[in-house]
Every structure is written in C-alpha cells, then in structure tokens.
Structure 1
C-alpha cells in the first residue's frame, strides 16, 4: 500500500522532475518553519515500502504453537513439512501416511483429534494497521501531511474496517506520553526523529507511512500499552468529541457516521467495556432514533444493557432502560424485564430520569 502512495505522490509532489523537488525541499524550511516533521532516521524500522506488520492481540497467545500450525495448514489444504509429520508420528499411534496426490485434505488420526479439541478453543485475532493515503494539507500558516490509517482484522474478511486520520504531531504526542508512562516497555520501540527539510517529497511520505504502520503494530504487540488510555484514546477520542458536537447541533446523519466509526475502532481495539464504549452506544441509539430507525436503536440499547447487567449505579443505566422500553413498545418486543429493573431504580432514587439524549449531550469528554 505504501508503494502505491509513493507512486501517486511522486507525480503529485515532484511534478516536473528532481530539480524542482530539491528546490521545494530547501524552500520548505523558510516557508513552513512549524511544519518540521521526521528526520530521515528510521533505525530499527524496515525501509520496505509495501506490506503491513501484524501482531496478535491476545497476550497469552503471542506465538502460534506447533499444533496451531498443523490446524491452519490443514484448513488451507497445505501438506505438512516432513519434520512436523515426524513429530506427529512420535507423539501417538503410528497413523497411515497422508494421501500424496495433489489437493488431498485427508487428516491423520492425530490431526483429526487435534481438530476436534481445537474447534471450541480461542483463536487469536490479529490487527493490521495500514496507511491507505497521505495528503498534504495547507491551513493558513501551517502545512502538514495527514495520514489515513485503516484498522483491519486479519485472518477473516473484515466487512467493517475502521479508519483514523492523524498527522505527525499526533504520533509524536502519543510516543511522548507512552514513554513517560511506560518507559521500560517503550525502550525497544523505535520512533523516527524530526527533520528540517524535504518533509513533503513522495519518497519521504511513503517511508513515513511504512514507519507509522510499524510503530502502531509494535505498540499493539505490548499488552500493557494496548490497554492503556493514552493508546486507545489516540484512535477514537477526537472522533467521539466530533460525534458529540454533531449530535448537539442536530446533524444526526453525520453524527451517526462518526459514532459508527468510533464503535468499530473500540471494538477492534478491545475497548468494549469502557465508559467511552457505553457513550458510543448511547450516541448510536440516539441518532438511530432521531433518524427513525428504531430497530437499530433498540439493538444498541440491548448491547449497552448487557454490558450494564451487573451494575445498578451507572448514570447511563436508567436512561438506557427508559429508551429500551420505549423502543420495545414501538417494535412490539418484550419490555417487562426492563420495566421491572427501571421501577427498582426509580424506587431507590430521588428525582426524574434524564433521557438518553440529555445524558449524551451533557456528558463531558476530556
């Protein structure tokens, strides 16, 4: 992907040839002094301009063991290498050899047993970070590159990828905060330093795109960091703030798109039990209801109530129950359990219950 960015940006940015590009590099220092970004220092990072790194998001399954490799190979219809076949034969009864003709998926008894045991086991999902575009942005006295990063689950067809757009200063801020809070974990994480010129050439932008993919992938491979607020909020906090502003202004269609992307980001990053996630579900429910989509609004309320099943004091619980009851009545669905729980909350509290929309608009975000 980064190689395609290089190809497009070379035409867009270098224009008439290398001489013009070099002249533009020297002009940047004077014209945009505040736009200094990376120095061409990528020690520890691959300089290849294509491909994307991926790391498992399950800390207890950081590396696939040999048994998992057996299963994956058999699922793909691949034959096992001789050394693995020999190991399998030594660990149990001698099984008949695999059929040798091309395309055979016949399993040995050992592999069949392994398959039966592994069917119900957890298969770690991997998360890919891919820079799909990089655009030069001019804003009054500043000029910077905006990188669009897609988060995609590997190992399956991801029909709902999520995207964020970030500039170098956003990455630098994340790097600085993580090094302050996770010094030992961040010791092995490379982050390219700033440079003073040639920030907007096609080659530099393509190299940075690759570097940012690796930077995010490396962070996601560290369990403590990928669960930290600094890391998670880098992806979705500004999206939530924008979605809340749009909801307050009544732009529900635009707000729904923002809430939906924030929901996908949090789901992929494993942040589905945070207060931010509940606020996101509230945003989805309110926007769907305002757009006369009661079925989708009801589904968001149900998801939130499942997360709040063991909580009786959360400020969003009563508003979610109230919205769920109203939507269930509209859709002809059972609402007795929600009504009973809401009555219990009302008996134990003083004052009325605010609506979900009121809570959503008033909820402060950092």
Structure 2
C-alpha cells in the first residue's frame, strides 16, 4: 500500500511541474517494498469480532452474510472529499495536496498532524472482553451424541499468544442459563438463549446459528455487573479446569495438570478475578507442578505472586504453606528468603503450629472443588 501511495505522489508531482523522467535516465527509481510499513488494524479486528454474532431470521441472514463479506475486504487509501482516482475535475489530486503542504505556512499544519499522530499512538484504547466460538465438533459417545463448542476469551485491542479457552456443550450453557435466571430473574429478562430443537441439531446451519447465539449470550451476561461478578457466571468458565487439574495432580500427571492449571490462570485473568481464593489455589497448582517437574524458578515465581496477594491478610489457610514453599524454593534457586522467614517467625510467635500444617501440595489435593 505504501509503495502505491508513493508511486502516485511521484507521478502527481511530476505532472504538476510538467516534467517527465527520461526512460533511460541516469537516476534509478527508489524501490519501497510494501512490507516497509505495517498498518495497525487492531480497531478493525475488534469491530469484526464484536459483530460476528446475531440471532436473526432467515431474511436477515442474507443481509448479514453480505455485511460480513464486505467487512473483510481490503480498504483503499483514504481520499480527500470530492476526490476520485483517475478524475480530472472531481477535486484536488495527490500532487495538489502535496504541493499545498509545501507552501509557506504549511509547516505549522505538518507539525500539528505529527503531534496528533503521536497523541493517538500513545493513547490507550478501552478494552473489553470478547467471546468467540472458534470451532465446533460433533462428539459421539456410547449412549450420547452432542456438539462441543470451543470458545476463546479475547481482550479487544491486543494479541494473545496463549489465549484462554473453554470447551462447552449445549447442556452446559443451558444449566448456566437456568441457574442465572433463578437468581437474577430481572436482569435475565432481556437475555436471549437459543431454544432446544427436536431435530436437525447436528446440521451445519444449526451449529453456526448456535455458535453465534452463544457468543452473544456470553457477551450480554458479561455486560451486566451483578452477573459478571457472580460465582455462577465465573465458575462456568474456570471451575471445570480447576477440577480436572486437581485430578491430574493427584494422580501424578504433572505435565498434563500444568497445562490445565495454566489455562485456568488465563481464564481468571481475563475475567478479572485474580484476588480470589480460587486464584490462590491456581497459583498453588502451578507452583506444585513446576516444582515436581524440576522447574524451580517458575515455581518460586508463582509462590512470590501468591505471597503478594496475601500481603494484606493476617491469616489465611494457604499463607503458611506458601511461605514454607517459598523459603525452600528460594534456598534452591539462590533467591532472598529473609522476608518469608520473618513472616514465618511472626506466625510462630502468634501461636500458629506450623509443624502441624499441611504442605502446599497436600492443601492442593485436599481442597474441595464443587
């Protein structure tokens, strides 16, 4: 794109001055590769993602498909009002815009534009959480057949190298909808949910419509403050991962458990619940699995993160186990452990029997997750 714009500028300037470069002249044209300038399309990406869903009738679907197709086309470079490419009297051409910038007094306009550009680059765009169904697969078991929907949780305006994901079936969404309607009947009055079907549940059309409906359903729920903070809504996302990670840890499958704990960590981070008891348990799972896999620096880092969260709490069931694990890991990796040792001494003087307390791994295994 940049190469085409520069090419137009050169020809426009050459045409305005009445000069043409000779075909075999001594000067070589400067080649500017298109990859030399990248466009930031973050806003367009978030717009497309936020508009991927609608629950419409058959007549609306044709318009929706036309709109989706148009949004994916590449945009042409912006032109001045009244200007069309190739017209002679539709407005000022590229050469006239450039020559106007070279006239006396135009340096002020150039500086203003540069300052505006710097401010826009430095400003922080408001972020929101997007829910995108990235795939849906039909799963056949011995006595049942269902569709499993994979959903990404994405922050608008940034790229996630390791996105937070969940996989849920229709019955999971239906259970969430039923629980929320029992507790938040007024707030849920305006929230739409796809109804059950007696047939054609596994057609591509039904799966596509439900995918869009589930995205819209979760986005609507997340926009309501009371529901967004409710345990019913939050645990729909990360409780299954916590339960699976705990089972894997109990059976000694630490590498598999580590991936599940890490996804639960990302889910809670996207949902903004990084100070809850569930999040502390997640940090314990990550620390234990990294330690069992002999990745001591990573385990030490998660213990430090947990202790920062527990800084303002005088007592917590996981405080003693995290302090003891942190002291042990700090000694192993050669880090400072004096602060944790001092806090442990304060707990002893307060009468806490640290010798009888379970280890971090024992707390992790015994924690009831329902």
Using CA pairs under 8 Å that are at least 6 residues apart, name the structure with larger relative contact order, 1 or 2: 1
Hey, what does 2:223 align to over in structure 1?
221
- State the aligned residue count: 277
Once the two structures are TM-superposed, the CA of residue 105 in structure 1 deviates from its matched residue by 4.5
**Aligned counterparts of 1:135 and 1:42: Cα–Cα separation in 2:** 23
**Aligned counterparts of 2:297 and 2:205: Cα–Cα separation in 1:** 48
CA contact (8 A) 2:176 2:232 kept: yes
User: Given the superposition, is the C-alpha separation of residues 329 and 167 from structure 1 closer, same or farther in structure 2, using an over 3 Å criterion?
Assistant: same
Once the two structures are TM-superposed, the CA of residue 127 in structure 1 deviates from its matched residue by 1.4
Counterpart pick for 1:203 among 186, 202, 205:
205
Hey, what does 1:106 align to over in structure 2?
114
**Aligned counterparts of 1:124 and 1:338: Cα–Cα separation in 2:** 38
Counterpart pick for 2:306 among 293, 301, 304:
304
Once the two structures are TM-superposed, the CA of residue 343 in structure 1 deviates from its matched residue by 1.4
**Aligned counterparts of 2:78 and 2:276: Cα–Cα separation in 1:** 41
Counterpart pick for 2:151 among 149, 152, 155:
149
Hey, what does 2:94 align to over in structure 1?
none
Hey, what does 1:332 align to over in structure 2?
334
Once the two structures are superposed, residues 248-283 of structure 1 have per-residue CA deviations (whole angstroms, 9 ceiling, x without a partner) of: 000000000000000000000111111100000000
**Aligned counterparts of 1:273 and 1:181: Cα–Cα separation in 2:** 24
Of structures 1 and 2, the larger Rg is shown by 2
My pick for the range that moved more, 240-249 or 123-132, is: 123-132
TM-score normalised to structure 2 length: 0.69
Once the two structures are TM-superposed, the CA of residue 327 in structure 1 deviates from its matched residue by 0.7
Hey, what does 1:70 align to over in structure 2?
none
Gaps of 5+ in 1: 1-40, 52-76, 82-95
Counterpart pick for 1:365 among 337, 357, 369:
369
CA contact (8 A) 1:42 1:211 kept: no
Hey, what does 1:243 align to over in structure 2?
245
Partner of 1:193: helix, strand, or coil? Answer: coil
Counterpart pick for 2:358 among 347, 354, 357:
354
**Aligned counterparts of 1:284 and 1:299: Cα–Cα separation in 2:** 10
Partner of 1:144: helix, strand, or coil? Answer: strand
**Aligned counterparts of 1:276 and 1:97: Cα–Cα separation in 2:** 56
CA contact (8 A) 1:125 1:153 kept: yes
